[in-house]
Structure 1
Amino acid sequence: MNWGTLTVATCNALNLALPGRVFYENQEPYGADEYRRKVAWLGQQLRRLNADAVALQEIWDLAALRDAVAESGLSYHQVLAPGTESGATGTPRVALVTRLSLETVTSHAAFTPAAVIDVPEVGRHDHFERPVLHAVLRTKQEQKVHVLVAHLKSKRPKFLLNAAGESLEDRDDPRVAARATLRSLIMRGSEAVALRELVVSLLHNTRDPVILMGDLNDAPHAVTSQIVAATSAVAFDREARDTALFHAYDVQSEPALRRDVAYSHVHQGSPETLDQIWVSEEFVTSSRFALGDVRRVEYFNDHLHEGRDRTRSDHGFVRALLRLRLP
């Protein structure tokens, strides 16, 4: 059988912003030298990944991303980060860098009414804090592929603040912290529902493959991740494959390549897989609609153990080699 290949990767860049630019009030902006080291390091990682399509998170300035891409020395003719052209405000944005042909790109911020929810003491949550990027690409084999890039709400407790950004709650009270964590969970859950609706709209009764990449801020089998993917439903209803997503690591066709280093973040000494790549059944060999497979998935996380330095990311990067059957 003849195969074409498609390599995809996801990277949380950790606050990629221009020098001198204040991105969070409680953090110093990058100096010129620190900025040069950050874009050089990220460019080196992009070169190492050498993927056809790279999803990135925590991008504040499109110009900074372009500098990192230039540092990679690779030819990426599409560098997309909606909402960062003049600098993002409030929260960083997601991005996509690709050498593939781009048909359309859309940024999804607002929820449909079904995903809107009231968060205790906070109020109506009706939009993604970091809008989801949806790109329609054409592979080298002229296969149409939908790529979604997401960065869901973090697990960080959502404490109540006044208009000046000062805390209204006792952050040292464990009961207050528990309720603040619940608020974050509810927000991430509603974002998962909204993302699920987008996934279903792309997959239902179609055969165009979908790839979801990004920082979902939870484990692949956590409830919020499964709201998005609904993989567990497949065990009880094979028809559910039509709108399910499959964790690329779990369905790779070379299981011998699985390793115990498959994590992308270390929180208080515990490894976690927050950064993920999901594929629709068109890349699952057991599906009768398979157009190819996930050959292997690799984790690039050595830098997580090299000390904390904000010129490097605090997340590991994930790369998947996908294959497509040629006619």
Structure 2
Amino acid sequence: MARRDISFASFNLLNLQLPGRPVYTDADGWDAGIYQKKIDFTATTLDRLDADVYGCQELWAPEALQQALDQSGLAASHQIVTPPGHPGTRITCAAVVRREMLVGEAEWITDFPPEMVLRSTGDDPQQPAIAVGLRGFSRPVLHLQVQPDPSTPVIHVFVCHFKSRRPAEVWRERDWYDRNIHAPHANAIGYALSTIRRTAEAAALRVLATRIAKGSHVPVVMIGDMNDSKDSNTLNILTEQPRYLSTLSRGGGDNAMYTAQVLQEYRSVRDVYYTHIHQDMHDSLDHILVSEEFYDNSRDRLWRFDDMLVVNDHLNWDDHKTSGTNDHGLIVARFRWQPPTAEMPFV
């Protein structure tokens, strides 16, 4: 791609940990053979996606990601972005970024912003009051800045990993759970708690992005395993549900985020996008969202959408724990630098 173009990828690493190190409650983690298969798959896929910025989730050991990058042949052009001194005892979001594009120091955001208040007395007299006391992300959100070229603006990138749709294990609660009372309803309560947590995380990230994007022309990108589909409430919160304009229409939302999946669907005859399979259900949980500076029909466009690639063939074999592959598909979206000009307003 040309020097001012840029591409973004989302890469769930499926618990990339050094061999023999604990992964959650599995004290032994990956054995040496499976670990090497994971490194092989990760390295090959990094090279295949050929992105400028990879947003990664489920990293335990930064050393493992560095090994995969070295094996991929991209270490000369890219560097890993991981929390300083990360001990490898918990998962984190990370990135792999083209060296000359990285600007400043990355940060990992644990706490919700103070503006994020989830409390209401209701919209009508029939509604009881509601309050959600959650104050932090399940996984710290990575915030970094990149610049494809000195002649382009700096882009703010957020890499996230929201709470899964798996029900919260309420049977572990000691202060209120009563097996005789709550066991028949554990799934319903657990799913509700997971949804509330994921919804709050989406709203908190939306606040962080709005701080930057609203009333400005600063490009913003969100990358990650958001554990929900493009039509979910989670994504509606993040995108603010912008209108996708017809071919000749011009506009764009000042605070909107546009999903690469929808941008690709407008280019495709058929939608075959999925990044996860659970109980034979195909779904897209991993997303790349971009602000109006990347939207073709925006009056404030700087880059235009080129294409999106989904690597998901490996999902059709449920042997990730032995094959070294991941349980999520990998996606990459590419954008070409093309601000409107007087001669060519929109192309």
Length-normalised TM-score, structure 1: 0.87
Distance 1:317 1:116 in 2: 33
**Which of 202, 209, 214 is the equivalent residue of 1:199?**
209
In 2, are the aligned partners of 1:171 and 1:177 still within 8 Å (CA)?
no
Which residue is equivalent to 1:217? 227
Q: Aligned AA for 1:18? A: L
Cα RMSD for the two superposed structures: 2.8
Q: Which runs of 5+ in 1 are unaligned?
A: none
**Per-residue CA distance 1:272-312 (angstroms, 9 max, x = gap):** 11001111001111111011211111111000013322221
Identity %: 33
Distance 1:171 1:294 in 2: 53
In 1, are the aligned partners of 2:252 and 2:299 still within 8 Å (CA)?
no
1:255 Cα deviation from its structure 2 partner? 3.8
2:42 counterpart of 1:32: no
Which residue is equivalent to 1:247? 259
Which residue is equivalent to 1:313? 326
1:80 Cα deviation from its structure 2 partner? 0.9
**Per-residue CA distance 1:30-75 (angstroms, 9 max, x = gap):** 1112111111111011011011111111001111111111111113
Which residue is equivalent to 1:304? 315
1:268 Cα deviation from its structure 2 partner? 0.8
Distance 2:302 2:192 in 1: 41
Distance 1:149 1:258 in 2: 30
* Higher alpha-carbon Rg: 2
1:279–1:33 Cα change, 3 Å: same
Distance 2:198 2:17 in 1: 25
Q: Secondary structure at the match of 1:131?
A: strand
1:83 Cα deviation from its structure 2 partner? 6.3
1:85 Cα deviation from its structure 2 partner? 2.5
Distance 1:70 1:168 in 2: 51
1:206 Cα deviation from its structure 2 partner? 1.5
Which residue is equivalent to 2:134? 125
Distance 2:107 2:43 in 1: 25
In 1, are the aligned partners of 2:252 and 2:292 still within 8 Å (CA)?
no
**Per-residue CA distance 1:115-160 (angstroms, 9 max, x = gap):** 3559xxxx84211010111111110364211111011111111122
In 1, are the aligned partners of 2:242 and 2:253 still within 8 Å (CA)?
no
Q: Secondary structure at the match of 1:148?
A: strand
**Which of 319, 331, 338 is the equivalent residue of 1:325?**
338
Runs of 4+ aligned residues of structure 1 deviating over 6 Å after TM superposition are none
**Per-residue CA distance 1:155-199 (angstroms, 9 max, x = gap):** 1111225589xx975899552210111011111111111001011
Which residue is equivalent to 1:96? 95
Q: Secondary structure at the match of 1:225?
A: helix
